[in-house]
Structure 1
Amino acid sequence: MTLSIDTLRNIPVSYATCSIGCKPEHTLLKKLDAIASAGFTAIELSMPDILAFASEHLKKDVGPKDWDDLCTAAREIKAQADAKGLKIMMLQPFANFEGWPEDSPERQEAFNRAKGWIRIMEACGTDMLQVGSSDSPASKIGLDRVRFVADLRELASLLSQHKLRLAYENWCWSTHAPDWKDVWDIVRLVDRPNVGLCLDTFQTAGGEWGDPTTRSGLVEGYTREELNAKFHRSMRELTETIPADKIYLLQISDAYKPPEPFCKDEDESGLRPRGRWSHDFRPLPFQGGYLPIVDVAKAVLKTGFRGWFSYEVFDSGPDGKGKEYDMHEYAKTAMHSQKQLLEACAEDFVPVI
């Protein structure tokens, strides 16, 4: 499939609320204003933003299981988003759901949490839940893919009762599904019409090509040419394997190469190196990152996918220590990055010199 710029210009564009704003005073309403003003037409609504808004709006501390209060807040968020012309495209991030042993308290909690999040989805008017591939320790969830599939089927059935969908994402530090092939295999085995993929330029390129623990910033054990060839084979396989209608969205971000290699061990909270990298070192495209994210976007587009591109960045600067910025200007830069990304993907685009 040839990628023509004319077929790419109408791709809808979203922005994750968790990935803009760097100060406590950057409230959700200010985020919505910046995102809408830059021309985005939807948001991924983040649970931490709902929690913060709920406490502010209701003038009391609201906890993550205070479902009635969270639903009240979600209805108000929907009204504010509607007023700014923003669709709530997805609720995120639903993490560490699948794989817990049968009859364990963790499994019971995971399904109780799912039922609460479904209530919030209905309150805020979104039909899609992002589920990230679990990074709970293998000693607790095991590596039996049959169990992961069974849990996701059960979640899909819960969502289906409310006409809701599940977008499953590979987190590149996941215990059991760090690659696009892993999550696609799981989605294929789940085999439910309301279950598809949340693909991500960082999670894919940062897992298969980049590595924050090496001096080069690359996956080692290959020459640069071998690594590039291996990655390009993977992207061709993605294009040839995944049906476009099973891709629900593509999240967009790049990564800074850390100034010093990360320790290969988990940190004190149990987070793995790529998880730490993800949390602080993810800029917008063309803003200092080094991953081959254009290759990922092209591979996804060549499936025929023309759905949501959604910007989810965690930009604490090249050193990961924090970055001051104006939210309105940052959102405008993100929209410009989208234009640059589509032009880089288009095989017939000729820049005006």
Structure 2
Amino acid sequence: MVFSKESLSNIPTCYATVSVGTPDHPLDKKLEAIADAGFQGIELGFPDLLSFASKNLGKDVGPQEFELLCNAGLEVKRMCKELGLKIVMLQPFSNFEGWKPQSAERKDAFRRAKGWIQIMEAVGTDMLQVGSTDSSIPTSRDVVTSDLKELADLLAPHNFRLAYENWCWSTHAPEWKDVWEIAQKVDRPNFGLCLDTFQSAGGEWADPTTRSGLLGGDVKKEDLHERFQESLKSLGATISEDKIYILQISDAYKPKEPLDPKPDENGMRPRARWSSCLRPVPFDGGYLPVVDFAKAVLETGFRGWFSTEVFDGGPSGQDQEWTDMPGYTKKAMQAHKRLLREVIE
């Protein structure tokens, strides 16, 4: 498919609040930087809401103190309205699906879900991002599907949608094909996908534990490229455009030294560690085939939200000091514009 400038000119732009500064930075300054760069919407990061609520009240607010979080959410909604920002999505809702029936973990997951729905009502968003779990659970697709159906049904009376994302270190759904298969089995009108350039290219094409930074290590780059292109061709021909709710954009730095393939002391797998601090905006030192993945998503007919979600600690993962948040969000907007230009070219 050939894309014209006109056909892509109305793609709305979004920026995740967790992708500029840290939760310790004032949320109002983050929002101002995002709006001043020309973004139209935000993904509201739960860590930012938690920090904002704690600072406003002068005490630590817990992640399940939902009444206090909702009150803070009303203020966030007001700030966004003043800046002309739409709250596109609340994120990241994690470790939800697949727990054993009647387990404490499953009960907690649904308790959290009901609380997050209250927060969504307070902030005025209609979309919840759910990441494919990385908990050590049995990988029963039937149990996962059943849980996600139940969550979609909890959201439905509020006219809320569930955007399900493949996390490339997930226990059971690390690739786009996995979450698409799950979406078909869930079969709910308010259940769709959150696709992500990093999560797919970082799982199917790249590997931070190899010297080359590529999947397989000893696989020829040409063969890997061909295999990835086949996956992208399948994506473009398979996924329904109305089932893609949002596309998240980021690149990745190739680690200076291969990451240890074993989980760290906190249980984080190598791709999770890579994701947490080595994800810049495109065209700023990364090496993933971001443009190719964006093209494949556009091949479906999708023209919805393109959202910058990065975790940029610099090439070492520890270099970002966040002395200029407005400068960073402006750089992200330039990367968005360049991405669309390269898609056209």
TM-score, length-scaled by structure 2: 0.98
1:53 counterpart residue number: 52
Matches of 1:322 and 1:185 in 2, distance apart? 39
Look up the match of 2:9: 9
Could you tell me which of 280, 288, 291 is aligned with 2:288? 291
Tell me the equivalent position of 1:245: 242
Aligned length: 343
Q: What is the rounded CA distance, in whole Å, between the counterparts of 1:163 and 1:58 in structure 2?
A: 31
Partner of 1:319 in structure 2?
A: 316
Match of 2:336 in 1: 338
Please name the residue that 2:211 is paired with. Answer: 215
Q: CA deviation at 1:22?
A: 4.4
Q: Would the aligned equivalents of 1:3 and 1:302 in 2 still touch at CA under 8 Å? A: no
Counterpart of 1:120 in structure 2 is 119
In 2, Cα distance between equivalents of 1:322 and 1:133: 29
Deviation at 1:324, TM superposition (A): 2.4
Kept after mapping to 1: 8 A contact 2:66/2:115 = yes
Unaligned runs of 5+ in 2: none
CA deviation map 1:276-331 (0-9, x unaligned): 00001000000000000100000000110000000000000001123124100000
User: Is residue 230 from structure 1 mapped to residue 263 from structure 2 by the alignment?
Assistant: no
Residue in 2 that maps onto 1:103: 102
Q: Is 1:147 paired with 2:143?
A: yes
Describe the SS at the equivalent of 2:158: coil
| Aligned residue identity for 2:152 | A
Match of 2:129 in 1: 130
Q: Which residue of 2 aligns with 1:351?
A: none
DSSP-derived class of the 1:345 partner:
helix
Q: Post-superposition shift, 1:108? A: 0.3
CA drift of 1:222 comes to 2.1
CA distance in 1, matches of 2:319, 2:185: 41
Q: Are 1:22 and 1:323, in contact at CA under 8 Å, matched by a contact in 2?
A: no
Distance in 1, matches of 2:330 and 2:139, equals 42
Equivalent runs, 1:176-187 vs 2, <5 Å? 176-187=172-183
Residues 23/136 of structure 1: CA separation in 2 closer, same or farther (3 Å cut): closer
TM-score, L = length of structure 1: 0.96
Match in the other structure for 1:195: 191
Unaligned runs of 5+ in 1: 348-353
Counterpart CA distance in 2 for 1:75 and 1:285 is 33
Residue 23 of structure 1: how far off its partner (Å):
7.7
Q: Deviation of residue 6 (structure 1)?
A: 1.4
**TM-align CA RMSD:** 0.9
Give every structure 1 segment of 4 or more consecutive aligned residues whose post-TM-superposition deviation is greater than 4 Å.
none
Instruction: Look up the match of 2:169.
Output: 173
Could you tell me how far apart the structure 2 residues matched to 1:179 and 1:75 are? 36
- Return the alpha-carbon distance in structure 2 between the equivalents of residues 65 and 23 of structure 1: 17
For residues 210 and 21 of structure 2, the distance between their equivalents in structure 1, rounded to whole angstroms, comes to: 30
Q: Is contact 1:2–1:302 with CA below 8 Å preserved after alignment?
A: no
Give me the whole-angstrom Cα distance separating, in 2, the residues matched to 1:112 and 1:6. Answer: 45
Name the SS for the 1:106 alignment partner. Answer: helix
Q: 1:204 aligns with which of 193, 200, 204?
A: 200
- For 1:167-191, what per-residue CA distance to the aligned partner results, in whole angstroms no more than 9, with x for missing partners? 0000000000000000000011000
Provide the C-alpha distance between the structure 2 equivalents of 1:157 and 1:322, rounded to a whole number of angstroms. 43
User: What code does the residue aligned with 2:317 have?
Assistant: G
| Alpha-carbon separation, structure 2, partners of 1:177 and 1:322 | 31
Residue 10 of structure 1: how far off its partner (Å): 1.3
Are the aligned partners of 2:236 and 2:299 in contact in 1 as well (CA < 8 Å)? Answer: yes
Pairing 1:265-304 to 2, within 5 Å after superposition: 265-304=262-301
* Secondary structure at the counterpart of residue 59 of structure 2: coil
Distance 2:157 2:101 in 1: 23
Q: Is residue 86 from structure 1 mapped to residue 85 from structure 2 by the alignment?
A: yes
